[in-house]
Chains A and B, each alone.
Chain A
Amino acid sequence: MDTQELNIEALEKNLPQVLRFVDDLLELAGCPVKTQLQIDLAVEEIFVNIADYAYAPGEGSAVIRAEISENPRKAVITFFDRGIPYDPLEKKDPDVTLSAGERPVGGLGIFLTKKSMDEVTYAYKDGQNVLTMIKRW
Chain B
Amino acid sequence: MLYTQKTKENGKVCFALEGRLDTVTAPDLEKELKEALDSSAAELVLDFTKLDYISSAGLRVLLAAQKIMAKQGTMKVVHVNETIMEIFEVTGFSDILTIE
Closest to A12 in B: B23
Complex interface: chain B residues within 8 A of A34 (CB): 82-83
Interface residues on A, range: 20 to 34
Q: CB of A70 within 8 A of chain B?
A: no
Closest to B22 in A: A44
Contact A13 B24 (CB under 8 A): yes
What is the distance, in angstroms, from B75's C-beta to the closest C-beta of chain A?
10
Instruction: State whether A108 and B56 are in contact (beta carbons under 8 Å apart), knowing that A44-B22, A98-B92, A115-B90 are contacts in the complex.
Output: yes
How many B residues face the partner with a CB closer than 8 A? 23
Complex interface: chain A residues within 8 A of B67 (CB): 100-101
Taken together as a complex, chains A and B put the C-alpha atoms of A101 and B63 apart, in Å, by 9
Main secondary structure of the interface of A (DSSP, over half): helix
Complex interface: chain A residues within 8 A of B24 (CB): 12-13, 15-16
Contact B53 A112 (CB under 8 A): no
Q: CB of B57 within 8 A of chain A?
A: yes
6 contacts between A and B (CB under 8 A): A34-B82, A37-B52, A44-B23, A96-B91, A98-B92, A99-B95
Residues of chain B touching chain A, judged by Cβ–Cβ distance below 8 Å, are: 22-24, 52-53, 55-57, 59-60, 63-64, 66-67, 70, 82-83, 87, 90-92, 95-96
Given contacts A45-B55, A45-B56, 14 further A-B contacts (CB under 8 A): A12-B23, A37-B52, A38-B83, A41-B55, A44-B22, A44-B57, A48-B57, A96-B91, A97-B92, A99-B96, A101-B67, A103-B63, A105-B64, A109-B56
